[in-house]
Chain A
Amino acid sequence: MKGWLPSWVRPRAAIGLLAACVVLALVPIFNTAIYIHNLLTLTFVGIAAALAWNWLGGYLGQVSFGHAAMFGIGGFVAARVQLSLGMPMLLAWLVGALVAGAFSLVWGHPTLRLRGPYFSIATIGVGEATRLVCTYWDWFTGGSSGLSLPMKSGLKYELYWYGIVLAALALAASYALRRSPMGLSLLAIKSDVDAAGDVGVSPTRLQDLVLFLSGATMGICGSFYASFFSYIEPGDMFGFDRSISWVLMGVIGGIGTIFGPALGAIIFVFVKENLIASYPQLYLGLYGTLLVLVILFEPLGLTGLFLRLVRRARPDLSVTGMAAED
């Protein structure tokens, strides 16, 4: 067992992930409520997207308020190639991911030099400019009418398992990006870019890699979304509110932690679910309050809270983990 796993992977982690996937894959046998089934599918995409955002926002410390740009581009590229070229779905997703990843490099490579809030402001500019241009670009996005994909019966149901795979891959990547030797380099870059360069870490190359991965994963999520709803529209895909939602998921779940954003995504979907019926507009204020509380008292969000509880319950366990380093 230990032979073929890289040394930095804890066997328990790998087994845990595998077990979770198997359990979730089997759930539909017992659960016939299609509504919950679809909700779970959306949660999986949300997990993947939040984690992808976190690679840039948490691992590199560059908070992006414009990630909807890659989400939208991935979605529309995938929809467009399926409509115009009749490409099979998974191939279209791949194309969407690649284009989105490339796009993130185009704007991200020069802007990653910026530190602190300047990068975040730049991402707002990128997000909004992309939205406006893509809404105008009729051929690509259908303009404000959006694009409608031909309906394939049963696809929405099947996407559940695709979602599991997507979320699992994102989790594995999250783990790898942190735990592997590369992860240490990323931490170094986050703390002090110049010093990192001095000790032989190649900051630009690594940053570009993370940027690409983050953008490409966002692109797949967008493509997934397009296939799931069979109809996408630029105002919705590129919206500022959408970019914000990942910031919220990441920060409330635990920015910079491996699984925190996944937790944030789960909470996000389920809270919205339950609030939507009774108090539809309250979730804005709720997330705002949570955000304020997290920033003031627990920078690692819910994950931080959880860790505190663990440390209190089992002080003997060494929880060095990733959280302590932030």
Chain B
Amino acid sequence: MDRLVDLVIAAVLLAGLYATMAYGLGLIYGVLRIVNLNHGGMIMAGAYAAWYLHTALGLDPYLALLLVSVAAFFVGILTYRLLVRRLPRGAAGGVQSLLLLFGVWLILRNAAYLLFSGNDQTLRTTYSTRAIAIGNSLVSLNRIAVFGVAIVILIVLHLLLTRTYVGKAIRAVAQNPDSCTLVGIPVERIYALTFGLGTALAAAAGLLGATLFPFNPSFGAAELLKSFVVVVLGGLGSVAGTAIAALILATVEVFAILVIPAYLTAAVGFVLLVLVLVIRPGGLFGQRVLG
């Protein structure tokens, strides 16, 4: 019974981490129909930013969260304006955007190598190993904080998308960009904004990841792949869908240890990804993506 509780808590906390990692990717794809492979690069950048601020200025990562996110927001807008905007929209642009942003990721990786060397870095804070007791289990404070941030982002994003003008504009553009131009919504600006937002979310996720794990310039690759699984599972344009999908993925991965060797639980996500794509490409909650 204890073990079960432990597993459930582990799954929930892991879901928080996965959700945070996946929001940015899902948002950009939902609105721009672009697979942002630089998502991994920005996660890595966020991690290094957090580490650098902590090492050089002694700034706690959670306090730096807003700063790093805002900086990444502008980086995202810049990336959009300089590069992504030139791509053709629609189906033709799909694979090209994939490759373009992948190229940007490679460049970021190289930059990180040159600036910080390929060594693993760790971010240690006073609360790195602090734990609180939930029932009979000890739970990492840091993990709870990450989960908390995931929930906050979920609520904020939801409110943004449903209550604000900008949010509604974003959703409108996601549904039908051409009509939006007709009603006077500045589509290009919304695109840039969304891309910036998605990038900011990625960097935030990276910052949080840095508090939990050691990282190096290759950080972000595994997180990107997991994010794919979450976004595909949750379908598009659904923030709540992303959160639920993260929970599903985390639960499957964590409970899989009861039936398969621990090493193979890492493969579970990928198998799930392929299965969902083949059986129900729209994800569990989203729309159809065939044809």
Contact = CB atoms under 8 A, between A and B. Distances in A.
B83 A120 contact: no
Interface stretch (B47-55, B56-64, B110-118, B126-134): B110-118
Contacts of A296: 83, 86-87, 100
Contacts of A194: 291
B74 interface: no
Contacts of B248: none
A288 B99 CA distance: 9
Interface in A104-140: 107, 110-111, 113-118, 120-122, 124-126, 128-129, 132-133, 136
A121 B232 contact: yes
Contacts of A295: 87, 96, 99-100, 103
A267 interface: no
Contact of B110 (A113, A244, A288): A288
B103 A291 contact: yes
A120 B35 contact: yes
A288 B94 contact: no
B274 A288 contact: no
B263 interface: yes
Contacts of A116: 91, 94-95
A299 B102 contact: no
A299 B98 CA distance: 13
B273 to A, nearest CB: 4
Interface stretch (B165-173, B207-215, B264-272): B264-272
A111 B278 contact: yes
A261 to B, nearest CB: 14
B15 interface: no
B99 A247 contact: yes
B289 A287 contact: no
Interface string A18-30: 0000000000000
A285 B35 contact: no
A238 to B, nearest CB: 12
Nearest to B95: A63
Given A129-B270, A132-B266, A132-B267, A118 B289 contact: yes
B185 interface: no
A122 B106 contact: no
Q: Is the interface of A mostly helix, strand, loop or mixed?
A: helix
A183 interface: no
B113 to A, nearest CB: 5
Contacts, number: 131
Nearest to A109: B278
A63 B98 CA distance: 10
A271 to B, nearest CB: 14
B267 A133 contact: yes
Contacts of A133: 264, 267
**Best-surrounded residue of A122, A240, A295 (most CB of chain B within 10 A):** A295
Nearest to A280: B113
Nearest to B102: A291
B277 A118 contact: yes
B104 interface: yes
A114 to B, nearest CB: 6
Nearest to A113: B290
Interface in B24-45: 35
A63 B291 CA distance: 16
Contacts of A132: 263-264, 266-267, 270
Given A125-B273, A285-B109, 7 more contacts: A63-B95, A110-B278, A111-B277, A124-B225, A125-B277, A296-B87, A299-B96
Interface of A: 61, 63, 107, 110-111, 113-118, 120-122, 124-126, 128-129, 132-133, 136, 193-194, 240, 244, 247, 251, 281-282, 284-285, 287-292, 295-296, 299
18 contacts: A63-B98, A63-B99, A110-B278, A115-B91, A115-B94, A115-B289, A121-B232, A124-B225, A124-B228, A125-B271, A126-B270, A240-B221, A281-B118, A284-B107, A285-B106, A285-B109, A287-B106, A291-B100
